[in-house]
Amino acid sequence: METSAIGPFLILDALTGIIFIIVGLMMLKYPPKEINSLYGYRTEKSMKSQEAWDFAQIFSSKLMIKTGVFLSLVGLLGYVFLEVSFLLEVILASIAFTLGLCALFYYTESELDKFPKN
């Protein structure tokens, strides 16, 4: 089957994975100090207290880096080893991206559930 020079695995997963790694490293090095609505890991649970906010920024940053590595590997391996139609490549790349993103939110929110509810 014919594959494009730059396919969905490279763009959707590998490139997004690299972006996740870069943003995760930046957020780990420069986490937002105060609860804000501009940037950071902003969910209802993370904004309940300063303690939850601080934890969420570090935890989600580390998880974002891991998710980025996962997406980059899936993207590169999928691009190199899978010879499927363009549509199937889009579907598989989208599934990997969605799973990575869902895992990021699920695990961070699960950890935030351990904080006292105010």
Angstrom distances, CA of residue 89 to CA of 44, 57, 65, 72, 78: 35, 33, 24, 15, 8
- Domain ranges in the chain are 8-32+41-112
pTM given for the model: 0.88
Nearest in space to 78 (alpha carbons), one of 92, 67, 65: 92
pLDDT per residue as tens digits for the range 53-88: 999 999 999 999 999 999 999 999 988 888 888 899
pLDDT single digits (tens) 17-56:
999 999 999 999 999 999 998 999 999 999 999 999 999 9
